[in-house]
């Protein structure tokens, strides 16, 4: 049972190189896309491309960064993870994982990362959370999150651990770039990822001429 949900992600989110057909058209005029570029760094030298990324839809006060509506990215390509057909609202990235040698390596993001990725998603929007580098830390082989995680890490670990297995890291922020230049680079890549979909106008209207980007 523990393998079921990760395997579903493999075949639906990143099992193909193109956007799945069921995600190529917005469900409604309010449907939106949330995206993030992310890599984790393990043992300070190994850069890991993620196979799944988890978002949360935040519905409480602005300083409250926990929530129960945890949503996996439904399209992952390269370093980019998207939540396609998201409802408008406030979102953040909370966890990610990658697979290697038949094992799963799971990273739970600390409060600083979650806070840094918060975006307000407008109806019909295409929102960029940032270009993110996360350090994977493991002080304890057993119960690493329970012993070393902050409040947010523990919260999302308790939600997701029933569908996870393998190694559990506390994720610490190394760098995040949310500059206009980083956003435009993200949109240019997304334009290629969504080229055969009805999302393309949502992206192209946000792309600025290079001379306007600082």
pTM of the model: 0.90
Query: According to the model, what pLDDT value does residue 11 have?
Result: 38
Query: According to the model, what pLDDT value does residue 138 have?
Result: 94
Distance CA 1, CA 3 (A): 5
Residue 169 lies in a domain: yes
Asked if 127 contacts 141 with a C-beta cutoff of 8 angstroms, the reply is: no
Query: According to the model, what pLDDT value does residue 9 have?
Result: 44
Query: According to the model, what pLDDT value does residue 101 have?
Result: 85
SS3 for 83?
A: strand
Residue 105 lies in a domain: yes
Residue 92 lies in a domain: yes
Range of the domain at 150: 4-18+28-179
Query: According to the model, what pLDDT value does residue 34 have?
Result: 98
Query: According to the model, what pLDDT value does residue 5 have?
Result: 44
Contacts of 147 (CB under 8 A, 6+ apart): 139, 140
| CA-angle at 199, arms to 54 and 96, nearest 5° | 10
Contacts of 142 (CB under 8 A, 6+ apart): none
Residue 190 lies in a domain: no
Query: According to the model, what pLDDT value does residue 1 have?
Result: 34
Query: According to the model, what pLDDT value does residue 15 have?
Result: 44
Number of CB atoms found within 10 A of residue 1's CB: 6
Domain count of the chain?
1
Distance CA 80, CA 204 (A): 18
Distance CA 176, CA 134 (A): 9
Q: Are strands 32-42 and 126-137 parallel, antiparallel or unpaired?
A: parallel
Residue 97 lies in a domain: yes
Query: According to the model, what pLDDT value does residue 210 have?
Result: 72
Q: In angstroms, how far is the first alpha carbon of the chain from the final one?
A: 49
- φ/ψ of 197, rounded to 5, equals -135, 170
Residue 57 lies in a domain: yes
Asked if 148 contacts 136 with a C-beta cutoff of 8 angstroms, the reply is: no
Query: According to the model, what pLDDT value does residue 7 have?
Result: 40
Quote the tokens at residue 195.
């080229």
Contacts of 182 (CB under 8 A, 6+ apart): 128, 130, 131
Residue 95 lies in a domain: yes
Quote the tokens at residue 105.
């390596």
Query: According to the model, what pLDDT value does residue 44 have?
Result: 74
- φ/ψ of 68, rounded to 5, equals -100, -10
For the chain, 214 residues long, the average pLDDT of each consecutive 10-residue run is 40 60 96 96 84 94 90 96 97 96 94 97 96 95 95 97 95 96 96 95 88 66
Nearest to 109 by CA among 60, 158, 141, 149: 149
Residue 33 lies in a domain: yes
């Amino acid at each position: 049972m523990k393998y079921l949900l990760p395997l579903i992600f493999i075949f639906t989110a990143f099992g193909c190189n193109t956007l799945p057909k069921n995600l190529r058209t917005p469900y409604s005029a309010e449907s939106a896309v949330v995206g993030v570029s992310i890599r984790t760094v393990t043992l300070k030298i190994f850069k890991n491309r993620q196979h799944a990324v988890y978002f949360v839809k935040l519905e409480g006060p602005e300083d409250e960064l926990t929530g129960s509506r945890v949503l996996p990215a439904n399209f992952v390509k390269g370093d980019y993870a998207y939540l396609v057909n998201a409802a408008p609202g406030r979102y953040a990235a909370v966890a990610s994982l990658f697979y290697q040698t038949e094992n799963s390596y799971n990273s739970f993001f600390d409060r600083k990362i979650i806070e840094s990725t918060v975006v307000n998603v407008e109806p019909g929007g295409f929102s960029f959370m940032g270009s993110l580098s996360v350090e994977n830390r493991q002080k304890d082989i057993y119960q690493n999150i329970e012993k070393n995680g902050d409040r947010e890490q523990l919260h999302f670990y308790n939600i997701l651990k029933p569908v996870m297995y393998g190694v559990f890291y506390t994720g610490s922020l190394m760098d995040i770039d949310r500059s206009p230049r980083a956003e435009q680079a993200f949109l240019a890549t997304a334009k290629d990822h969504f080229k055969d979909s009805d999302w393309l106008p949502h992206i192209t209207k946000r792309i600025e001429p290079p001379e306007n980007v600082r």
